């Protein structure tokens, strides 16, 4: 169901357009530095964006689309945190659910240089200065930390500090901040195993190819609660791939939509929608001990 548009939201969207027109710079949530506003800003009036298909919105995400971000590998259902966020953003921009279509976009392709086949992508993509060289990001829609999971029978399950993980064979999905957290925060003695998908990483954990995996915290709780129940969340990480990390919607570099999409995300944060959706879909991602 599309969310009602309030006068406050309209004012916020108009303000974002004015900022873009007057050359105001937005703050980069990853670095705190000012990032240039995209050129040739779009009209943010409801439903008036210069989208790939006139009058409709194309949203990209990977397949499979993992829980708890999506439900039953069906992004179009509106169930799961990121599916619900995508439809909430679309509604703020003036596109009801029936005007939203989904495009299968592998994780690595979403952030690679070059034209996109979506208007925006939502797939647990962390905002970073390096990725900003190839794509645009919206404002952050979720504050995230990375976490370590291990089989209950593994020595890694008893780790209480980063030092306890130094000799552990760790793994993560390629191109993710989970992998960056291993190399930048944990810094194990052995190179991490790198997998093309989380499904392959989970299989490697089950069969003993790796002793532990690094994934984002909500995914860690879902994996250990529903998929690899013989595993446990060891703890969460800070620094490097941890503190200050945010997921953002990915757009084509210099997209005319970036300012309007960011304003929609900001409005959803301001009116409490993001917090409500997080509570609804990610409430099982409770706190985990911090590994220092």
Domain 146-237: assigned CATH number: 3.40.190.10
pLDDT tens-digit map of 261-277:
999 999 999 999 999 99
Both tokens of 180, joined, read 């960056």
Domain ranges of the chain: 7-143+249-287, 146-237
pLDDT tens-digit map of 201-249:
999 999 999 999 999 999 999 999 999 999 999 999 985 443 478 999 9
- pLDDT of 238 reads 81
- pLDDT of 13 reads 44
SS3 assignment for 169-221: CEEEECCCHHHHHHHHHHCCCCCCEEECCHHHHHHHHHCCCCCEEEEEHHHHH
User: What span, in angstroms and rounded, lies between the C-alpha atoms of 260 and 141?
Assistant: 14
Contact (CB, 8 A) for 92 and 78: no
CATH class of segment(s) 7-143+249-287:
alpha beta
Enumerate residue ranges in the chain where pLDDT < 50.
Answer: 1-39, 240-243
7-143+249-287 and 146-237 agree in CATH topology: yes
Both tokens of 54, joined, read 């006139």
């Amino acid at each position: 169901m599309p969310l009602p548009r309030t006068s406050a939201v309209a004012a916020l969207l108009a303000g974002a357009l004015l900022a873009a027109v007057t050359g105001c710079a937005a703050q980069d949530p990853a670095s705190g530095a000012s990032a240039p506003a995209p050129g040739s800003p779009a009209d943010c009036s409801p439903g008036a964006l210069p989208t790939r298909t006139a009058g409709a919105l194309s949203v990209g995400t990977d397949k499979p689309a993992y829980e708890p971000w999506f439900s039953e590998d069906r992004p179009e259902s509106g169930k799961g945190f990121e599916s619900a966020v995508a439809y909430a953003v679309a509604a703020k921009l003036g596109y009801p659910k029936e005007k939203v279509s989904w495009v299968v976009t592998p994780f690595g392709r979403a952030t690679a240089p070059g034209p996109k086949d979506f208007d925006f992508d939502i797939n647990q993509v962390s905002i970073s200065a390096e990725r900003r060289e190839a794509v645009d990001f919206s404002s952050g829609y979720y504050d995230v930390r990375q976490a370590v999971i291990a089989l209950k029978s593994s020595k890694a399950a008893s780790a209480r500090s980063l030092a306890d993980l130094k000799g552990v064979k760790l793994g993560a999905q390629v191109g993710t901040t989970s992998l960056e957290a291993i190399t930048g925060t944990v810094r194990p003695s052995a190179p991490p195993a790198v997998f093309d998908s989380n499904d392959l990483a989970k299989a490697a954990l089950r069969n003993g190819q790796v002793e532990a995996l690094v994934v984002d915290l909500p995914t860690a709780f879902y994996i250990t609660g529903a998929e690899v129940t013989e595993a446990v969340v060891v703890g969460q990480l800070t620094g490097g791939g941890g503190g200050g990390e945010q997921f953002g919607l990915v757009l084509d570099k210099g997209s005319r939509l970036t300012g309007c999409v960011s304003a929609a995300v900001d409005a959803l944060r301001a009116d409490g929608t993001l917090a409500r959706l997080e509570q609804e879909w990610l409430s099982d991602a409770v706190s985990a001990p911090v590994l220092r």
